[in-house]
Structure 1
Amino acid sequence: MATVAFPRRHICFDHPTIIRDRKRELQGFIAALIRLRQACHALAQQPGAPRRKAQDVASLVLHFLEMPVAVEDEEHRLSCGRPLHSHTAPTEDACPICMCEFDELSDDDAVLELTCGHAFHESCLVHWLDKKMTCPLCRCEAVGGFIAA
């Protein structure tokens, strides 16, 4: 997380190149925060881990991103029946958005699975969720998920 910087400001705000670059950098920053929050949830499940600190960091990220309370409620409901750290790899072989195989991942692109069970490349899903907070396949509200691979 320390290597991910918040997009820096520019003197000229409306230049298309600057807008495109800042948007891409902001998407990367938000994706890194979501990965940090997921790692904190997984850490809090480990025996002997600094559970309270991990929960505090996850809560700070949640509030910084202004995520709806429904996200916390859904994650709590899922954690009661299905621990966050025990998920298996997605059953599909390819991302439904870009149609590329999941095993063709770059080092910085994870597979994210939404609470509805559908899995996508992180970069594909971030672009979709930027427009709509629903699953691209079933249109269920995207209130949570986890890193599947």
Structure 2
Amino acid sequence: MDEPHFRRLIKFQTRRREALTGSELEIRTTTNHVSTSEVNVKAWFTVYCMDIRRADSRHGDDDQWVLKKRYSELETFRRLLFKRIEDWEYTVRREFTRKTTVDRQKTFAVVSNAMRRAISPTFPKKHFRANKVAVIKERVVGLPNFVRKLLGVYTDLAVYKTNSQLQAGGFASSWAQLCTIFSELEAFLKIPQPQKDAEIQRHSAVLALKDFNDYTRSVGEEAHDQLCSICLNEDPVTDEGRPLVALPCGHHFHEDCVIDWFSTSPTCPLCRRSSHI
């Protein structure tokens, strides 16, 4: 993948991560008590039901699902993820050679940091009496935060997997491990198929963008026709340095504007044609 396309994907990924960690994504958590014995009424455990959705009601069911987990499941997966990351980092170091470029080393460091965001010291602690009201209240707050971070890692890896530097030139083993981490995250979070398909379409729409310059302008196109219809900025001073990109339909917008738009819909803001490849 060439630099402009990967750069745009990284920009899109950053927007998505900011949305996941901000107010755009809602995780409403309720609890269910599941009995483990018909005889002992005090024998039960707590299931945390997390309703994950985009805060904007205009979005459909593609961005909504319910994740049901016990504390023990989340705590076990956190330890598994930490081990997977350590194993991947060890394999990467072993695969490094004297010929490994600095840029490639930086790429691996960025991926490592992205995954380690989920291994936070703020994860709720274990308690001997886990069903106390105070403990459950603490976990109702802390566990969704952990899930939010896992979703951020999942979003990051979906983009990083497109970087050929992570798999080419003797990095086959670490690449396989990275794919395993991604698959395990996807399975644990129970990402619904419509959500997967929507994310693929968003990535495809970003990859379909092309630089808009003097060579891609239509013959006879006036300066006012180059106005970005998303931000409607007509100030040439503030507009300078903001690259324009063209969609497959031929319409063009500021790169930043249309990448933000794709978080809402992978279509052209003007003609509504599908923009994914």
Query: TM-score, normalised to structure 1's length?
Result: 0.47
Query: TM-score, normalised to structure 2's length?
Result: 0.28
Larger strand percent: 2
